[in-house]
Each structure stands twice: as structure tokens, then as C-alpha cells.
Amino acid sequence: MKLLLIDPVTTAETVSVTERTKLRQGIGYPGLGLLTVAALTPEDVEVRYIDESVEDIDFDYHPDMVGITVQAPTAPYAYRLAAQFRNNGTTVILGGIHVSLNTEEALPHADAVVVGEAELTWPGLLQDYNSGQLKKLYRARSLAELERSPIPRRDLLKTDRYFIPHVVQASKGCPYGCDFCSLHAYVGQPPRYRLVPSVIDELAELPSDNFIFADDNLYSDPAYTEQLLKNLAPLNKRWAAEATWHIAYDNEILKLARQSGCIGLFVGFDSINNRHRLRKVPQVGKAEEIYVNAIKNIVDHGIAVVAAFVFGLDEDDESVFERSLQVVLDGGANLVNFSCLVPYPGTPVHERLKREDRLIESDLSKYISPNVCFAPRMMSPERLNEGVIWAQKEFYSYQNILKTSLQATRKLGWGMGLFALRLNLAQKANWGKGSDEN
Ligand code: B12
Ligand code: SF4
């Protein structure tokens, strides 16, 4: 049997593969979903994997089965791809976060839809296919036990086509419950953790010293984070991860992070207008001060900060752009990710906005910041779109790039200064095109 696994991208039909690959080589890394599906597939199946962000689909290759992973903005295109393969007699299986949260929508587009994590359903689906008894729907009845998940098939990756090709996941989920978070709605609760020794074994086997943690929040359980980092330090790796801003007030963890090779953290600040969205907030004072000090403290520990903010929450008026920009500049963030709220279908915020008749966009391919798909409470959709672009471009102005790169050199050393400069310029080029497609 021949199985083709496809990771589609929204830009596949509009941007050349050379340009797409250039973008990934500048700032990109791969996901683990389909590499995990591949690892769950028996050895006698011929498996090919296409990440469309760095490779075109070869339509001259005729697999027996195609598996496509679907995110909200890729859904319309993924459904078109599915139709094309099905017209040629190929069996199409859809899986991933969007079809799991919007199964009724996906069912007509596939021979089978997999809801939830593949660990619990994929081997059975293949058996059913082989015996000619494929069902229309495979629904995981529980969350997977991470300890039993296979190591993703990294051998299928074209590693030279990514900025950082190696991604590892130690935990899944997050203790917070942001209403706009798809992950929370999908597999967020309760957070699950792999045993530290098995994560360390996987990391030790990586053919590179650099990697990214795909964890939703590497600081979701400080005791686990501590154990992980203590055991990671002897491997002499360099890594980056995502965490909520609370990590900034834990000096012990920041020290351990630096000692274990952390060079950067993508820090979710959510919003300056509602820091209580993320519970367990010990710090008192204005969000602005707390966030400025948080950024400063992480950078003072020798770790670069990518500061992520969401604009357009009900509490946000038009001052949110300038105030948030000031926070990241005063704190000395090295990169930013300003985006507007994207109400992904299947999340509580999507349901609420629908009830309030505030959804203004039904084309899922537009569900990518800075496109505004809803009516914000305190400004127009156009103003929100302009504000996101303005803040992003302002941060990546030549003047600020010079400032943040010099700051990075002073606090993080020459290597990181140059690294920050390269990433800032790559982001500037990307935002020149007016998109955050990353
Ligand atoms: C790494 C990553 C990326 C990478 C690689 C993308 C990729 N191909 O995976 C990059 C940086 C390129 C990226 C880009 C984007 N991403 Co992204 N990304 C992630 C991240 C952090 C990790 C993905 C991962 O490896 N997870 C671990 C694996 C093991 O889990 P999994 O993917 O869910 O797969 C399991 C199951 O879902 C299932 N499964 C998944 N696919 C399939 C397919 C089949 C056939 C079957 C049977 C089963 C199955 O089985 C798998 C094993 O258990 C996730 C967050 C997260 N933690 O998942 C966001 C996430 C997937 N990204 C998201 C988004 C929105 C984007 C962007 C649109 C961002 C943007 N503004 O541009 C782009 C879209 C790119 C595109 N495809 O066009 C959202 C999706 C939301 C939604 N409802 O669709 C997420 C959930 C983040 C979030 N905070 O909401 N992303
Ligand atoms: S803190 Fe981040 S990962 Fe956790 S629920 Fe909120 S958006 Fe999702």
C-alpha cells in the first residue's frame, strides 16, 4: 500500500515553492502531526510526506491513500485537494485540529475523518481499510497517553529546507482556558507530560544541537519544567519554546532555562487590557509595568523574547496598539507577534461572536491575522486590521531594528545580536508583504 501524507499551506496556490521555501528557511520549522501519523503506520506501507510549505505535491504519483492534516485557514484548500484526489480514485482521510472541532463540515469532503489524536485510531483505520471496511468516522474516545506515542518520523523531513528542522514535544495542553484558543478546545485539558527520561533520550538522538519545543506552554507545571531543564542541561543543546509570561517571574526556572541552552522564548502576554484572563497572577500593578518588567527579566537572564499579543478583545479600544508597542519597546523584546483575535470555529469565542451576530467573515481561508473576521466591540474591523499592521511594521522599522539588535548584542552577546538582526529583517520583509503567514 502507498500512503501520501500532506501538510497543506494556504499559500500553495498563490506563492511559488521557491518563495515558500525561502520563508521557511528564514524563520520556519515543521509540525509533528503527520510525522507522528507516519510513525504509527506499519513498516510494510510505503509512506511519503509532503510539507507543502517547502515542496510541491507531485500529482504524477498515485497513492492508494492520502492523509491530510487540516487547520482552520487551510480547510477550504484542503477540501479542494481532497476532491482532486478522490476524483482520481484515491482514498482520502482528513485529520487534525480543524476537522476534529468541525467534523460535520469535514465529513462530505473525505472517505474518512479522524477526530482527535491519531494514536488511538490510526492503526485500526488502516486495518479496516485493508479489509475493505473503512468507516466514515474515527473518533478517539480519550486523549492519548503521551508515553505511548511513537517518536515522530523525522527521517521523512527535508531538513535543509527549514530554519530549525527539529521539533520535540514534551507536554501537551495548558492549565489556562483562553476562550480563543483552539488547542484548549481540542486537546488542552488536562495537560499531559511525557516522562523526562524519554524526552531526554529523544533529544540526545537528534542529529542537531538546535531544536524547538512544540509544547503549548513549557511552563504549564513549574515542577515538571524544572526536572526537564535540569536533565536537559548536560546535552549542550540550544533551544526555543513557548510559555506564558508567568515564567518571567520565576528566576530559578529562567536560570535553569539559560543553563540548559534556551536562547529564546515565545511569550504569550495575551493582552495589556486583561491580564487576569490568565489566572494565577501573583503580581500586582498595571499590566504595562508587569509586562515591561517581565520582558526585561527574561532578557536579563540571557534569553531572547518574542512577545506575543492579541488585539481586538472586547476590552481593547484604539489605544491598545500604541500602548502594547510601548511595552515591547520599553521591555526590550527581540521580536514581536502582534495579531488580531482570530475566532477559529470550534472555540468558545467563535460561538459567542456567532450568538452576538458579530462574525463578518465565513471564508475560512481568511482566518489568518491581520484579517479581521469579526466586529470588534470598541473599534471598526478596518481599524483593528490597520492597528495590527501598524504595530507590527512600527516594531520592525529600521530605527527599532537597529535599537533592538544593539540591545540584543549588549545583553545577549554578538552571536545573538546578529541572529536578532537577521530575524528582524526577515520579519520586516515578510510584513512588507502585509502578512503574518509564518
Ligand atoms: C509547529 C506549528 C506550526 C509550524 C508547522 C505547521 C504544521 N504543519 O504543523 C508553523 C510555524 C509553520 C505553523 C504555521 C501556522 N500555524 Co501552527 N502550530 C504549530 C504548533 C505549535 C505545533 C504543531 C504540532 O506539531 N503539534 C504536535 C502534533 C503531534 O499534534 P497535532 O498536529 O495536533 O497532530 C495530532 C492530531 O491532531 C492528529 N492529526 C493531525 N493531523 C492529522 C492528519 C491525519 C490524516 C490524521 C489521521 C491525524 C492527524 O494526530 C496527530 C498525532 O496525535 C501548533 C500548536 C500545537 N501544539 O499543536 C500550532 C497550530 C496548529 N498552528 C495554528 C495556526 C493558526 C497556524 C497558522 C495559520 C499561523 C499563521 N498565523 O500563519 C500557520 C498556518 C500554516 C499553514 N499550514 O498554512 C493553530 C491552528 C488553529 C486552528 N484552529 O486551525 C495552532 C493550533 C496554534 C494555536 N495557538 O491555535 N504552525
Ligand atoms: S495560555 Fe496559550 S496555550 Fe494556554 S489556553 Fe491560553 S492561548 Fe491556549
Q: Give a three-class secondary structure readout of 136-187.
A: CEEECCCCCCHHHCCCCCHHHCCHHHCCCCCEECCEECCCCCCCCCHHHHHH
Residue 114 CB–ligand 1 contact under 6 Å? yes
* Number of separate domains in the chain: 2
Q: Give the closest residue to 215 by CA, choosing from 180, 265, 258.
A: 265
| Residue 315 belongs to some domain of the structure | yes
Query: How does strand 46-51 pair with strand 65-69?
Result: unpaired
Domain check: are 43 and 100 in the same one? yes
pLDDT tens, residue by residue, 254-272: 999 999 999 999 999 888 8
Domain check: are 39 and 187 in the same one? no
Residues contacting residue 261 through CB under 8 Å, at least 6 positions apart = 232, 233, 235, 236, 237, 238, 239
Q: Could you tell me if 344 and 72 are in contact, meaning their C-beta atoms sit under 8 angstroms apart?
A: yes
Is the pLDDT at 419 greater than 80, yes or no?
A: yes
Domain check: are 248 and 350 in the same one? yes
* Exposure letters 386-414 (e unless 16+ CB within 10 A, then b): bbbbbbbbbbbeeebbeebbebbbebbee
pLDDT tens, residue by residue, 310-328: 999 999 999 999 999 999 9
Domain check: are 52 and 176 in the same one? no
Domain check: are 188 and 330 in the same one? yes
Q: What residue numbers bound the domain in which 103 lies?
A: 2-139
Domain check: are 189 and 337 in the same one? yes
Please state the rounded mean pLDDT for residues 346-350: 96
Residue 178 CB–ligand 2 contact under 6 Å? yes
pLDDT tens, residue by residue, 215-257: 999 999 999 999 999 999 999 999 999 999 889 999 999 999 9
| Residue 153 belongs to some domain of the structure | no
Of 67-81, 188-202, 261-275, 287-301, the least confident = 261-275
Q: Which ligand is nearest to the CA of 274?
A: 2
The per-residue pLDDT for 435 is 47
CATH of the domain at 320: 3.80.30.20
Q: Could you tell me if 140 and 121 are in contact, meaning their C-beta atoms sit under 8 angstroms apart?
A: yes
41: CA distance to ligand 1 center in Å?
20
Domain check: are 233 and 362 in the same one? yes
Q: Locate cell 510584513: which residue? A: 431
CA distance 271 to 317: 12
| Residue 340 belongs to some domain of the structure | yes
136: CA distance to ligand 2 center in Å?
32
**For residue 190, what is its C-alpha cell?**
488536562
| Residue 156 belongs to some domain of the structure | no
Continuous segment of H or E residues that includes residue 288: helix 287-300
Is the pLDDT at 278 greater than 90, yes or no?
A: no
| Residue 155 belongs to some domain of the structure | no
| Residue 330 belongs to some domain of the structure | yes
Q: Could you tell me if 63 and 4 are in contact, meaning their C-beta atoms sit under 8 angstroms apart?
A: yes
Continuous segment of H or E residues that includes residue 92: strand 91-95
Q: How confident is the model at residue 436 (pLDDT cuts 50, 70, 90)?
A: very low
Q: Which residue minimizes the CA distance to atom 1 of ligand 2?
A: 176
143: CA distance to ligand 2 center in Å?
18
Residue 36 CB–ligand 1 contact under 6 Å? yes
CATH of the domain at 111: 3.40.50.280
What residues are paired with 91 via a beta bridge?
65
176: CA distance to ligand 2 center in Å?
6
**Residue from 51, 71, 189 whose mutation best tests the ligand 1 pocket (most atoms within 8 A of CB):** 71
Domain check: are 60 and 172 in the same one? no
**For residue 223, what is its C-alpha cell?**
515542577
Largest CA distance in the chain: 64
Work out which ligand 2 atom sits closest to the CA atom of 216: 3
Q: Which residue minimizes the CA distance to atom 80 of ligand 1?
A: 71
Domain check: are 177 and 314 in the same one? yes
| Residue 146 belongs to some domain of the structure | no
Domain check: are 15 and 96 in the same one? yes
Domain check: are 179 and 313 in the same one? yes
Boundary residue ending a domain (119, 139, 159)? 139
37: CA distance to ligand 1 center in Å?
13
109: CA distance to ligand 1 center in Å?
20
CA distance 69 to 401: 36
| Residue 426 belongs to some domain of the structure | yes
Query: How does strand 210-213 pair with strand 167-168?
Result: parallel
Q: How confident is the model at residue 285 (pLDDT cuts 50, 70, 90)?
A: confident
Average pLDDT across the chain, whole number: 93
Domain check: are 119 and 225 in the same one? no
The whole model's pTM is what? 0.95
Q: Could you tell me if 94 and 101 are in contact, meaning their C-beta atoms sit under 8 angstroms apart?
A: no
